[in-house]
């Protein structure tokens, strides 16, 4: 299953027995806990006067009264912003799998000497309430998430919860907004803005070095149950727009208010762009299958060699899917050369794989 579709829409009410257990466990929590499972902060404390801070979100607003020490990330990519800001969560929620603590290689050095976080699972029924409660969090982050109101209310029984912003589709928050909101919650708003500015400078440099990007259209897709395209609010598509590419004008109309959707063959025109970036299971058989489709194979984007293929399960593919303040620089080092080759106007130019793929 592709990374996009692993993001299940977190629906359904939590069982009352879990709620009661979670609440009971939470009653014994304390900010003064200092056992071996406490957050592995790198030593960077919140700015003076940062608290209390109130953050608006989809279900109202949440006030964080003091500097959090035990942070659990329910948002599927929120851990990277926490790490970038000098904190190590006590719990993370697994999305891509295969990484200890759900920490990718682009973020490993941010752990310092701290233990890897406890990894939580979401099997499609929502956050693991009992396990979250057992970690005794004093802050739960669900910024990059599809948290339902019932789940938000249940988790709020035992810790402040910062849910996804209401201005965006579920799983549609831009990495900049995600980083800044988490920075607010941690009392590090200025540090968060500095981090965002640094990554935005990387995008600006890439655009300046490759003016052809601003003259081209681009789309991000994956061959799941046919063809699945990512909408303008999905972080993967934002990688392209942040580099200066224009997304297909009818893209969001075709997928509705989702982060992405399957399209029919009648809408393969959405794929015939200046460049098509594919997240694929592999770069051989999956590509051959795509090109074997007589409709897709006949598009100019294929005939003129304007495709980029990213292996889904590689470190590179995982970094593309996460698209965080820490993973984006890792992605740009690999994606920008591929995009440059794809839009150089020379069909004979081969769009190869990065030397360091992961």
C-alpha 66/C-alpha 203 separation (Å) is: 34
- Position 232 confidence tier, pLDDT thresholds 50, 70, 90: very high
DSSP sequence for 174-218: -HHHHHHHHHHHTT-HHHHHHHHHHHHHHHHHHHHH-GGGGG-BE
Percentage of the chain exceeding pLDDT 90: 81
Q: What is the pLDDT of residue 43?
A: 52
Q: Tell me if 138 sits within 8 A of 159, measured CB to CB.
A: yes
Beta bridge partners of 288: none
Buried residues in 197-230 as b, exposed as e (16+ CB within 10 A): eebeebbeebbeebebbeebbbbbbbbbeebbbb
Q: Which residues of 157-184 are buried (b: 16+ CB within 10 A; e: fewer)?
A: bbbbbbbbbeebbbbbbbbbbbbbbbbb
Predicted confidence band at 249 (pLDDT cuts at 50, 70, 90)? very high
The residues pairing with 64 across neighbouring beta strands, listed in sequence order, are 53
pLDDT computed for residue 20 by the predictor: 29
Please answer whether residues 77 and 324 qualify as being in contact, where contact means their C-beta atoms are separated by less than 8 angstroms. Answer: yes
Matching residue, tokens 């466990």: 25
CB 187 within 8 A of CB 277: no
Average pLDDT of the chain is 88
User: What average pLDDT score do residues 338-355 get?
Assistant: 95
Q: What angle do CA 333, 339, 343 make, to 5 degrees?
A: 150
Nearest Cα to Cα of residue 343 among 290, 279, 274, 297:
274
Exposed/middle/buried for 293, CB within 10 Å: 0-12, 13-18, 19+? middle
**If pLDDT is split at 50, 70 and 90, which confidence band does 358 have?**
low
Contact 325, 80 (CB under 8 A): yes
What mean pLDDT comes out for the span 233-248?
A: 97
φ/ψ of residue 342, rounded to 5: -70, -30
Buried b (16+ CB within 10 A) or exposed e, 12-34: eebeeebbeebeebbeebeeeee
d(CA 358, CA 307) in angstroms, rounded, equals 20
Residue 9 has pLDDT above 50, yes or no: no
In this structure, the chain runs to a length of 358
pLDDT at 41 over 60: no
Q: Greater confidence, 162 or 97?
A: 162
pLDDT of residue 257: 87
pLDDT of 114-168, one tens digit each? 999 999 998 778 999 999 999 999 999 999 999 999 999 999 999 999 999 999 9
Residue indicated by tokens 């590090």: 188
| Pair 10, 127: CB distance under 8 Å | yes
d(CA 257, CA 260): 8
SS (H, E, C) 66-116: CCCCCEEECCCCHHHHHHHCCCCCCEEECCCCCCHHHCCCCCHHHHCCCCC
Token pair 């200025």: residue: 190
Q: Which residue has the higher pLDDT, 123 or 225?
A: 225
Q: Give the pairing type, strands 161-162 and 260-263.
A: unpaired
CA angle 53, 56, 61 (to 5 degrees): 80
For 260, the 3-state DSSP assignment is: strand
The per-residue pLDDT for 16 is 30
- Can you tell me the distance from the alpha carbon of 358 to that of 349, in angstroms, rounded to the nearest whole number? 24
pLDDT digits (tens, 9 = 90+) for 43-85: 567 876 899 999 999 999 999 999 999 999 999 999 999 999 9
């Amino acid at each position: 299953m592709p990374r996009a579709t692993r993001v299940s829409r977190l629906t359904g009410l939590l069982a009352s027995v879990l709620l009661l257990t979670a609440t009971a466990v939470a009653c014994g929590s304390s900010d003064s806990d200092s056992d071996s499972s406490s957050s592995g902060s790198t030593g960077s404390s919140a700015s003076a006067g940062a608290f209390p801070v109130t953050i608006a979100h989809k279900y109202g607003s949440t006030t964080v009264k003091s500097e959090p020490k035990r942070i659990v990330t329910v948002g599927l990519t929120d851990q990277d912003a926490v790490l970038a800001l000098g904190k190590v969560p006590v719990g993370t929620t697994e999305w891509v799998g295969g990484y200890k603590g759900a920490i990718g290689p682009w973020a490993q050095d941010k752990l310092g000497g701290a233990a890897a976080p406890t990894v939580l699972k979401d099997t499609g029924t929502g956050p693991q309430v009992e396990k979250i409660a057992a970690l005794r969090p004093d802050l739960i982050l669900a910024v990059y998430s599809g948290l339902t109101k019932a789940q938000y209310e249940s988790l709020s029984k035992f810790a402040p919860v910062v849910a996804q912003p209401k201005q965006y589709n579920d799983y549609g928050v831009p990495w900049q907004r995600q980083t800044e909101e988490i920075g607010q919650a941690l009392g590090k708003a200025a540090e968060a803005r500095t981090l965002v500015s640094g990554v935005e400078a990387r995008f600006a440099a890439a655009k300046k070095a490759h003016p052809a990007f601003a003259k081209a259209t681009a789309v991000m897709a994956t061959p799941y149950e046919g063809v699945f395209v990512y909408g303008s609010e999905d972080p993967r598509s934002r990688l392209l727009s942040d580099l200066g590419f224009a997304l297909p004008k009818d893209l969001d109309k075709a997928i509705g208010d989702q982060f992405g959707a399957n399209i029919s063959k009648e809408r393969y025109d959405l794929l015939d762009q200046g460049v098509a970036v594919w997240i694929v299971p592999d770069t051989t058989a999956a590509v051959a299958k795509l090109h074997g489709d007589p409709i897709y194979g006949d598009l100019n984007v294929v005939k003129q060699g304007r495709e980029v293929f990213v292996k889904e399960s590689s470190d590179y593919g995982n970094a593309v899917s996460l698209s965080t303040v820490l993973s984006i620089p890792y992605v740009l080092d690999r994606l920008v050369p591929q995009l440059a080759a794809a839009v150089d106007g020379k069909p004979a130019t081969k769009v190869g794989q990065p030397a360091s793929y992961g």
